[in-house]
Structure 1
Amino acid sequence: MNKIDFQKHLIYTTLTRNATTLYACENVQLVHALSKVNCSEIIAQELGLINASKTLIGSTPAISSGSNIELALYFIKKSLSNADGSSDLITVVTIAHVNMNRALVLSVLKKIMDKYIEFKQDLDSASEGSKSKLGEFKLYMSQIIKFEEMNYDSNSGLYNYGSITPPRDEEETSGDEVIGPRSLVLVNEEVEEVRQLMLDNINKLMNRGDKINLLVDQTDRLTNSSSVFQKRAQLIKRRMWLSGVKFYLMLAFGFVFILYLILTSACGFPFLSHCIHR
């Protein structure tokens, strides 16, 4: 296997969820050429540090004593929310030659990540009978990798635009005039994060507006209820006043009637004739 094959093809790619491997794709010829290198073991050794770090996209040397070919480990990770409120950490990791175009590698990883998120959302929204389709994503992974590798030569200008691929044992140029391929993918990821944050803020503002409208409606209802209560209170007060006036009038009439009965019993009924004649 010649050197140029290593620089144009990914050796081993895996997708994990919460450090558990879900899917893995390998280039059989390259893995056979690196028979003394255990790719899955290398990824398992580095996965804990990758998931614990705050870096969303990055690379690290793939340390292996079984080969004289310098390899690099690239990764991309993202937190994915579930319907029950929990979240899963999705990590896509690949092993490639240290001189392989980094923009190509990171582009493949990002497309695998985006495809898995879409695949999982479709799977969650589907019926229970479609759970048997979980294994189909490995085919999607393989197709993405092969498609990007086949189109590497035609897209090399796009991958290399505004960036350089440094030789081994050298770091990426940090000057302002050069933008590394990793930086391009990082910017793309940051734009996506900012976009998602803006959408979340917009949703929160809309929910806040709905709550304000609901509060205004409740205030109007409370105001109307207060006005109705005040009118009813005034009506009840008026009725109680009328009832009090009627009670006192009836009491006065009763007192006068009793006094009249007392006088008529002594002076003659009904016109007090005895007392008047005297």
Structure 2
Amino acid sequence: MNLQHLEYFITIAKTKNFTTASNILLVTQPALSKAISKLEEELEVPLFKKSGRSIQLTKFGEVFLTHAQLAINNIEKGIEELQYMKSDDEKNISIAYTGCIGNIFIPFIITGFLDSHSDIKFKFNTNSVEEILQGLRDGKIDLGFFDSIDNIDKYSDIQYELVKKEKYVLITPKGHHLSNKTEVSLKELKDELFIAYNNTDDNKVSYDKFIGYTPKIVANPSEASMLIGLVAVGAGITIVTNTPMINTNKISVLDIKEDIGHKCIYMGWNKNAYKPYIVNEFRNHIISISKFT
């Protein structure tokens, strides 16, 4: 039994004439008769009987007509609901990112896009790199942002692109004895008190590696805003990525003389999954504004 046969049956029941029904349905009368015969054979009951020049429903046909109409109506409602859901999905973008990226990068890319797409809604998720890759693979998120691609080869469906390289800088409170400098060497920081960002999901600067000794750590906040706040009130200094989110009213930003690399931010997506048009547009927007410094 298929949907087309049900539609044929309902039309014939309404018109009580095979010729009229075939004209409405734009099918030949033999094809229509064959379809009804197949439906009756499958149901094992007659659906129509002759009444002069017209036809009428049998008692079986009358019962089946009620259910056939309900079935068609439910299918049409289902199609309408799916279309509504699809339309709603076209205005939603689900993104996930690691903790530090969420604070320093996501607000920057979202703001510019919303200026020209005020009707778009974003769904945000903070996850580990592995959770983001799994979410992309399973279709639970549209785009993921992460700073490590060590295990990405395990996910053949995921395509990624480098969208940001941010250099590391030293930040100190205003009035600190180093704050008036434009550049500082790591060797000058031996006796300083450090605020160290504590987040196992992000690739952090290894002070031991670059300074050559274990620095004096006075606090390990897990939120970037707390890290900046502690520096601003004079609790210590820290090395972070240089982003537009740093408020320089109470903080000085100094270049680091030594080359300690960059923080790389990657954008990933499932290349085999369906994506609404707006997701592709947002992805292209991010690629277009990418700046490698």
Greater per-residue strand proportion: 2
Rg larger in 1 or in 2?
1
What is the TM-score normalised by the length of structure 1? Answer: 0.24
* Greater RCO, 1 or 2 (C-alpha within 8 Å, sep 6+): 2
Greater per-residue helix proportion: 1
What is the TM-score normalised by the length of structure 2? Answer: 0.23
